A and B are shown apart, each in its own frame.
Chain A
Amino acid sequence: MRLVVDLNKCQGYAQCAFLAPDVFTMHGEESLVYNPRVGPEQREQVARAVAACPVGAIAVEGLREASDAG
């Protein structure tokens, strides 16, 4: 899966970093760092993070496909 976070939208609420801590990491209070290429084993955590982002900033390519495969 490939993912993109629209950092202009991102408000640094860190919801994603709670729910998928191996993909999204907070550096300091507000800046988000993430791994754009994630393996299928992270699918569920990433799906939770996408739904939890209060500003809908996370876009994922291949999330549904990974879900069908899994």
Chain B
Amino acid sequence: MTQAPLLRRITDYANRADPYPLYEELRRTPVLQEEEGGPYAVSSYYDILGLLHDPRISSDAAHLTAPDDDELSEPEATGLPPSFLRLDPPEHDRLRRIANRSFGPPHRPHRIDSLRGELARIVTGLIDGFGDARQIDVVDQFAHPFPVTVICRLLGVPREDEPRFRGWVDLIVAALDPETRQSGDPQFLRTAQEARMQLGMYLAELVEQRAREPRDDMLSDLVADHGPDGAMSTMEVLSTAVLLLIAGHETTVNLIANGMLTLLRHPEFLHRLREDPALSVRIVEELLRYEPPVQLLPQRTCVADIELRGITIPKGSRIWLVLAAGNRDPERFRDPDRFDPDREDLGHLGFGSGIHICFGAPLARLEAQLALTELVRRLDNPRLVEDPPPYRQNAVLRGPRHLRIAVDAVRPSEAVRF
């Protein structure tokens, strides 16, 4: 029997629980194009880092020459313009700068820091909600609701509306999965485009309301802002809001769930974290290397021929930057398959790098640090009920669908200074 091509094995759901041996195999051919017209997969740390900073690499779907590319963010197709995730400079920079004025320094230096108390209250409430249960699904009861609540609060989207937007978000995210795309069902991709439109229309109601009655939230700031770059158009506000709502939770869910799973597989660090909350900082950075929630960036193209390791990647080719493979590149990290929060050098590609480096990274870090610290402090004798757990379908945004654990008790909360 001949083996399926490596990239297809990587995206194959059957390998979701442990793709790392496949990434090791992939790194043996650091620039790999397996199938005519298929993507060039780049898997070594320094090559990925170099390309993330290379202006010849584009995130803009418009540069694709491959014929089968049905783009979700194509303006005619969805009515919503692409978000800055899918744009190049100068448009990317303008929109990201305006968005940042409602989020971080220099204009809003305290917005994230000042959320810390509220984050702690949300976490405490969710853990209190476990009640007397002896078995808990860490995903459904904690890792999912926590970041959803936070991003809703930050944007100003009513938390109780999740049932309205959940279906749209799930469809948009599913369409990012290469396995779904490879099946090439045009009907499905149209449905996903519809969903992005519907989500935009739902957010338009809220944006309109905030334009009339501003509150202390990002939607209000996004519509009202008139900084040095001028204002976003209404359509730009909507595609930015769609991006923030989705990017703001779909990844953090996986970081928290991967984190708890990894700590349960490495109890030494679970015990140390229980004694020393400050260790959460290193644990979260090492998790972003060892089990990154965004495994690969499948949406880059090159706008000029690129020479890499003696191979010419022709202009217009699609490129996959396999962050999770670079994160375990032995050229960069000693003993890369070991989970070791004590390593001196924690530099990882978990948030990407360069101009598209994760916009929400400071928030994601705080959320994950707090979530893991509180879980290990309050759960008495937590154990995995099944290992590996069942995974979500998606190969790009990878994480457990459920994480069932057994506990002896849920301890009452004590004030931890965080």
Is A36's CB within 8 Å of the partner chain B?
no
Chain B residues, Cβ within 8 Å of A44? 278, 417-418
Q: Chain A residues near B418 (CB, 8 Å)? A: 44
Q: Quick check: B281 and A21 within 8 Å, CB to CB?
A: no
B-contacting residues of A (Cβ < 8 Å)? 13-15, 17-21, 25-29, 44-45, 47-48, 51-52, 54, 56, 67
Q: Which B residues contact A (CB, under 8 angstroms)? A: 97, 104-106, 109-110, 112-113, 278, 281-282, 285, 345-347, 351, 353, 357, 361-363, 365-366, 369, 417-418
Given A17-B105, A18-B104, A26-B109, A51 and B285 touching (CB < 8 A)?
A: yes
Known: A29-B97, A44-B418, A54-B347. A19 touches B113 (CB 8 A): yes
Output the nearest chain A residue to B282 by Cβ-Cβ distance.
Answer: A51
Which residue of A13, A26, A29, A45 contacts B357 across the interface (Cβ within 8 Å)? A13
Given contacts A18-B113, A21-B113, contact A47 B278 (CB under 8 A): yes
B369, A48: Cβ atoms closer than 8 Å: yes
Across chains A and B, the number of contacting residue pairs, with CB separation under 8 Å, is 61
A19 B366 Cβ-Cβ under 8 A: yes
Query: Bound complex: CA of A19 vs CA of B53, how far in Å?
Result: 24
Closest Cβ–Cβ distance, residue A23 to chain B (whole Å): 11
Q: Is the interface of B mostly helix, strand, loop or mixed?
A: loop
Q: Is the CB of A14 within 8 A of B97?
A: no
Q: Determine which of B109, B281, B345, B363 lies in contact with A25 in the assembled complex, contact meaning CB atoms within 8 Å.
A: B109
Q: Please indicate the chain A residues that have their CB under 8 angstroms from the CB of B417 in the complex.
A: 44
Also in contact, A25 and B362, with CB within 8 A (given A18-B112, A44-B278):
no
Query: CB-CB < 8 A to A45: which residues of B?
Result: 113
Chain A residues lying within 8 Å of B361, measured Cβ to Cβ, are 15, 52
Contact across chains for A14 and B104 when beta carbons are under 8 A apart: yes
Between A21, A26, A28, A67, the greatest number of chain B beta carbons within 10 A of the residue's beta carbon is seen for A21
Are B109 and A47 in contact, with the CB atoms below 8 A? no
- A37 vs B363: C-alpha distance in the bound complex, in angstroms? 26
